Every structure is written in C-alpha cells, then in structure tokens.
C-alpha cells in the first residue's frame, strides 16, 4: 500500500518567525519614550488604514523625531507621531487610541507600529529599513533626502 504525504505549505523563515505584540496602555508613555530614543532619525512612512477608504500614505520616508502618548483618566488619550524637518516638522495626532501593536521581524528588529483608534483610521508606521538597533551606527541627518 502506498501512502501519499502532503508537503507542508511553503513559508519564508521571516514570515514564520515574525512577531506582533500588544503594548498595554499603562506602558505607552515609557514604551514610546524608549522607542523614540532608539529610532530617532530613522526613515519611516505613515499609512492610514480605513475600511471605507483603504490605505492612504500620509508620510513617506521622513526621519522619525519621536512618538509621545498623552494619557488622561477620562480616556480621551492621544498619541503624537512627529517627523523631522524636510522642510519642516510634521505631527500626526491619533485621538482616542485603543490599541498599540509592535511588529518585529524574525531577527527581532522593529518593523512597524500599528495604532488603532476609536475615532478614526488605524495608523501604521513602517520603517524603510528595519534593523536591529545595535546594527545601526548612525542615522540620517536632519534635512538630508
């Protein structure tokens, strides 16, 4: 009797080991402070995802200046994503964020942040070149393309 075996589905190693983890609200301030220091000047893009509109690119390959969370007891929190000067600083505000997700590559490099909002589209911040922080010996200078 011949037994047929089926090959498992083909997956890349990166896809199989990539991780996504939720950042609890109580850790947002500390997380964003550390994340901002670690990724200061990294080229990033910001997409807004809405079911009725699809994906809209708001920012494309600009240096990240920082991310800050403002938390309130009332629940009317906000998160600001600030991009550097090319030619001027740009800030995107997310009102009433509900969830923050960190997506990492198989190697553990930060790839993207996804921020869901009760009031608007989901914000997706992606890095142009996801790398482990220890692999980066410098960042783009302000004003460089």
| Each residue's pLDDT tens digit, 90-132 | 999 999 999 999 999 888 888 999 999 998 899 999 988 655 4
Residue 102 inside a domain? The answer is yes
Is 90 within a domain?
A: yes
Q: Does residue 8 form part of some domain? A: no
Number of domains, the chain: 1
Residue 80: closest CA among 29, 23, 142: 29
pTM (2 decimals)? 0.77
Domain that holds residue 116: 19-129
In a domain, 78, yes or no: yes
pLDDT at 87: 76
Does any domain span residue 2? no
3-state secondary structure of 100: strand
Per-residue CA distances from 46 to 79, 105, 107, 124, 126 (Å):
14, 18, 23, 6, 6
Per the domain annotation, does 45 fall within a domain?
A: yes
């Amino acid at each position: 009797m011949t037994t047929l075996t089926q090959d498992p589905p083909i997956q890349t190693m990166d896809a199989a080991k990539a991780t996504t983890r939720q950042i609890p609200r109580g850790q947002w301030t500390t997380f964003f402070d550390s994340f901002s220091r670690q990724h200061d000047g990294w080229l990033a893009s910001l997409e807004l995802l809405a079911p009725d509109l699809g994906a809209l690119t708001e920012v494309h390959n600009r240096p990240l200046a920082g991310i800050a969370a403002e938390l309130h007891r009332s629940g009317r929190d906000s998160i600001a994503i600030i991009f550097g000067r090319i030619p001027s600083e740009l800030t995107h505000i997310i009102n009433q964020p509900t969830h923050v997700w960190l997506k990492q590559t198989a190697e553990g490099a930060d790839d993207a942040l996804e921020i869901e909002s009760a009031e608007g589209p989901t914000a997706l911040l992606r890095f142009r070149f996801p790398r482990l922080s220890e692999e980066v010996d410098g960042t783009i200078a302000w004003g460089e393309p």
